[in-house]
Chain A
Amino acid sequence: MPKDQGIGAASKRREDVRYLTGRGKYTDDITLPRQTYAVFARSEVANGIIKSIDTDVAVAMPGVLAVFTGDDFTEVGGNPAGWLINNRDGTPMKEPKRPVLAHGKVRHVGDAYAAVIAESVAEALAAVEAIDADIEELPAIVNMADALANSDNRVHDELEDNCCFDWGWIEDNRDSVDAAIKAAPHVTTLELVNNRVAPNAMETRASIGEYDPGTGDYKLTTTSQNPHLTKLLVAVFVLGIPEHKLTVVAPDVGGGFGSKIYHYGEEALVLSAARKLGRPVKWTATRSEAFLADAHGRDHVTKIELATETDGTFIAIRTDTMANVGAYLSNFSTATPTFLHGTLMAGNYRVPNVYVNVKTVFTNTAPVDAYRGAGRPEATFSIERVIDKCARELGIDPVSIRRKNFIQPDQFPYTTPVALVYDTGNYDATLDKVLELSDVAGFAARKAESTSRGKLRGLGLNSYIEACGIAPSNLVGQLGSRVGLYDAATVRVNPTGNISVMVGAHSHGQGHETSFAQVVADMIGIPEENIDIVHGDTSKIPFGMGTYGSRSLAVCGSAMVKATEKVIAKAKKIAAHMMEAGEGDIELADGVFTVAGTDKTLEWGAVTLGAYVPHNYPLEEIEPGLEETAFYDPANFTYPAGAYTCEVEVDPETGKVEICSFSAADDFGNIINPMIVEGQVHGGIGQGIGQALLEHAVYDSDGQMLNGSYMDYAMPRATDMPFYTVDQSCVTPCTHNPLGVKGCGEAGAIGSPPAVVNAVVDALSGLGVTHIDMPLSPNRVWSAIQAAK
């Protein structure tokens, strides 16, 4: 292996060449012989009774091959929630059926109630316009508090109210936390909104269904982060296709950020239509459809209380949250506001009493599910905002109050009152680093300079922890998960020694094709270019739980390491036989097997060839060939942590916030490819700043989304963003996976919103402003300034 390759090298991404030359192959780039096109009819009202759908005119239009409505799917299953959550009293959550196409009622603007299949998109679109749907509009249920208060108007008539569940974590803590807060000398209370955002992967969702009447085989090509889960859901739960008769392929996927983890009804529709027509059926979402029908993120309303001693020592945290799940339960919409949120509510602090209450609410809005960070940004934002407010109330600086309460390096493993066991960390180290990176010492002078120009300067700090690689399966099963959370990899060594690695994680921007190859190259000592990473095709990959929750390297990468270790162990046996030596004497370094203490060597390729041309081979002891599979189920989450600072300048005349600098110090454990890791942090910060300053998916009281296009939804642009200063030099390796890695995909989106808001509130603190809800638009900031005057 060349010296500039392997673990720790900033290897250039091999996937870039095809993307940079226009040779990427995304779902919509695929055109199959005899392909047809699907277009969906979507509800224009948020809540309504489907009285009738007349498709007669549409069916007879030119090029139209079929029209489907909800009536065509009454015999198939619903798209299930992936996690069953129990109420505080132990009763199960409400789980209404999520049909392929709306039936009986439409429940949000964009809810698909019919689909046309035609020879062209234009013909399908024209026919959709000709569908005569009589939908009686009902009052929309949009505001969460109203939805909980009014059980007469319900999103799902068959349920008794609009509350999906009322969850307490940990319920046994409830009374002791109440008592601790009641007795505490100081309690800081903050009510805040974690704003709803639209994920906006640049590639919209797209799916192609195929059916081969000769074999009965189905194929779904789709924009998925998670092809095996999609296969399981659409085949087993929804359509009843035998699993061995369906292949799901997720080719190049143009970003996901959570929104492409889930199975959506459009995937079931194109498969059903393909079977009915015996022709491929393709659907590609417009951006408008993406805004209306992709799962959104966040949307929490929270009251958080932090009880402390007068010196700032934390005593207790209590939160009360309403979390929007929208009109239907998306696959992880019940896990996100609970086990990915409540379990993180101790932050990186010694806080002996914590209780989290979450009420999830059905509304006539698009489903809400995991979006980059998924629950952990919401937890971090609540904690880090209330800590800043508390520090100000107590007259303690925001750095000191955090340091005072940090879990210390010698206290790991540390069990929090909300049932996580942090394995390792050093929170002062990342805090020290970020204070250095952002030149906090020079802040006073910079503030004075801003003041001289009539501007308000502020410095915001955040110290976050998150939990990645959700696990282990037996524990999450007890907590209601309906899936396992392992991953799998097959390492296939070809006769000449190059390697195909089939992995369950899917890469859609994360660069696995490069970084995963670095790991295997390092372990064997052969060049990275001799290793291919194969992902996204259920017919090639053993199994996999996909890419989300910053799990790919920590979970799937661990499976790949295990499989590679098995390959190496077998190759050593073969090498021992070929060199007539004891197996224990064989060493592998730089792609060469050596009999220890001798000059006897065999190249990697000679041994792999021996495995497939077994003329000189221990056939009595081991099978020919060199291919191994491993599944890996983690013992625990991993716990990336770090500290972020943001420095802003606010124009008091306009309310405009300018980010002057942004610094991030993250502890991701060991790093495989520092270039890719930095890129992941940049991207996360970009999305976090977007949430903090710009983005907000807004519904009016009629349930109409007001900003469902790029004309109206404030996507972050290059002019909105600064350069970021990022650092990953503080390393406490994960203690329980073979690479010591923690995951880096979501940290930026978790750590940045509170840093930005803390900075703006700091800038305005002299005016008496204590909080502004995101996004901190000029209007909101200006209004807060006026209100404080």
Chain B
Amino acid sequence: MTKISMTVNGKAVSGEVEGRTLLVDFLREDLTLTGTHVGCETGHCGACTVHLGGMMVKSCNMLAVEADGGDITTIEGMANEDGSLSVIQAAFQEHHGLQCGFCTPGMVMAASALLAENSSPSEAEIRKHLDGNICRCTGYHNIVKSIQAAAETLA
């Protein structure tokens, strides 16, 4: 077992993990942050997307020990400080950018990473950016609309 420490959603956390423990399992099992989901275990679906040092990563494709010392944000850390929905989260609700909700945390994390580096993405840039996030419910229409709307609000 290896002792690891990191910042998750602004709080210092630590734990003991096996070398093989995935970051997503550390988040879900040890920290009970179950908003980060596992949809495929192979890095394709993006339901496990979190931010590490502001970068979008797939937490099912990363060992927990690799995140030692890192600064992680999960979906649980995305709302405003008063608990209200952030601009991106609110845009997803306003534009019906989610249905079953399972891919949604990953979509919000991906959208947030996109808008951090490109404040006014084109439709094509949004779709390209979502290439690693699969949604089976929405046909992507309202997800793209939600991100466009969030970009406008943030601009």
Contacts and interface: CB of A to CB of B under 8 A. Distances in A.
Interface in B111-154: 123, 126-128, 130-131, 133-144
Query: Which of A202, A257, A717 has the most chain B CB atoms inside 10 A of its CB?
Result: A202
Contacts of A22: 33-36, 74-76, 78, 105
Q: Is the interface of A mostly helix, strand, loop or mixed?
A: loop
B13 interface: no
Contact of B40 (A287, A683, A717, A721): A287
B89 A683 contact: no
Given A21-B89, A31-B32, 15 more contacts: A16-B93, A20-B78, A122-B18, A202-B137, A287-B45, A682-B139, A682-B141, A684-B139, A687-B136, A689-B139, A717-B130, A717-B131, A719-B127, A719-B128, A721-B127
Given A202-B47, A202-B100, A17 B93 contact: yes
26 contacts: A13-B96, A16-B93, A17-B85, A19-B100, A20-B75, A20-B89, A20-B98, A21-B35, A22-B34, A31-B29, A202-B37, A202-B47, A202-B102, A254-B103, A255-B100, A286-B41, A509-B99, A509-B100, A510-B99, A682-B142, A683-B138, A686-B141, A710-B40, A710-B45, A717-B130, A748-B139
Contacts of A12: 93-94
A47 interface: no
B140 A721 contact: yes
Contacts of B96: 13, 675-676, 678-679
Interface string A200-223: 111110000000000000000000
Interface residues of B, number: 56
Contacts of B32: 31
Contacts of A20: 75, 78, 85, 89, 92-93, 98, 101, 104, 108
A684 B44 CA distance: 22
A28 B76 CA distance: 17
A441 interface: no
A723 B101 contact: no
A21 B76 contact: yes
Nearest to A255: B100
Interface in A99-150: 122
A217 B104 CA distance: 35
A201 B41 contact: no
Interface string B58-95: 00000000000000001110110000010001001110
A709 B92 CA distance: 28
Nearest to A22: B35
A42 interface: no
A446 B142 CA distance: 27
Query: 7 tightest A-B contacts by CB?
Result: A22-B35, A686-B139, A19-B101, A254-B102, A509-B100, A710-B44, A509-B99
B34 A29 contact: yes
B38 interface: yes
Given A31-B29, A721-B141, A24 B93 contact: no
Contacts of B103: 202, 254
Nearest to B135: A202
A16 B32 CA distance: 20
A711 B89 CA distance: 29
Contacts of B139: 682-687, 689, 716, 721, 724, 748
A201 B136 contact: yes
Interface string A271-285: 000000000000000
Contact of A21 (B44, B78, B126): B78
B99 A679 contact: yes
Nearest to A715: B134
Contact of B144 (A254, A723, A748): A723
A721 B124 CA distance: 11
A15 interface: yes
Interface of A: 12-13, 15-26, 28-29, 31, 122, 200-204, 252-255, 257, 286-287, 508-511, 675-676, 678-679, 682-687, 689, 709-711, 715-719, 721, 723-724, 748
Nearest to B36: A22
Contacts of A715: 44-45, 134, 136
Given A24-B35, A201-B136, A718 B98 contact: no
Nearest to A121: B25
A715 B44 CA distance: 10
A711 B45 CA distance: 10
A19 B39 contact: no
Contacts, number: 179
B10 to A, nearest CB: 15
A631 B139 CA distance: 34
B9 to A, nearest CB: 10
Contacts of A675: 96
Given A21-B79, A711-B42, A679 B36 contact: no
A253 B100 contact: yes
Given A17-B85, A19-B104, A26-B37, A255 B42 contact: no
Given A24-B35, A287-B41, A679-B96, A718 B140 contact: yes
B102 to A, nearest CB: 3
Contacts of A17: 85, 93
A621 B96 CA distance: 48
B93 A13 contact: yes
B101 A252 contact: yes
A198 B115 CA distance: 33
A774 B22 CA distance: 38
Contacts of B101: 15-16, 18-20, 24, 252, 254, 509
Contacts of A31: 29, 32
Given A13-B96, A710-B45, A26 B102 contact: yes
A254 B130 contact: no
A709 B79 CA distance: 33
B130 A679 contact: no
A170 B64 CA distance: 61
Contacts of B104: 19-20
B136 A257 contact: yes
A715 B94 CA distance: 26
Contacts of A21: 35, 75-76, 78-79, 85, 89
A693 to B, nearest CB: 13
A202 B93 contact: no
Nearest to A257: B136
Nearest to A252: B101
B134 A710 contact: yes
Contacts of A684: 139
B25 to A, nearest CB: 9
A723 B143 CA distance: 11
A509 B33 CA distance: 22
Contacts of B89: 20-21
A724 B130 CA distance: 18
A29 B130 CA distance: 25
Contacts of A689: 139
A203 B37 contact: yes
A13 B100 CA distance: 11
B37 A254 contact: yes
B8 to A, nearest CB: 12
A20 B95 CA distance: 13
Most B Cβ at <10 Å: residue of A25, A255, A286, A687: A255
A635 B67 CA distance: 59
A718 B126 contact: yes
Contacts of A203: 37, 39, 100, 102
Contacts of A676: 96
Contacts of A679: 96, 99, 137-138, 142
Contacts of B102: 24, 26, 201-203, 254-255
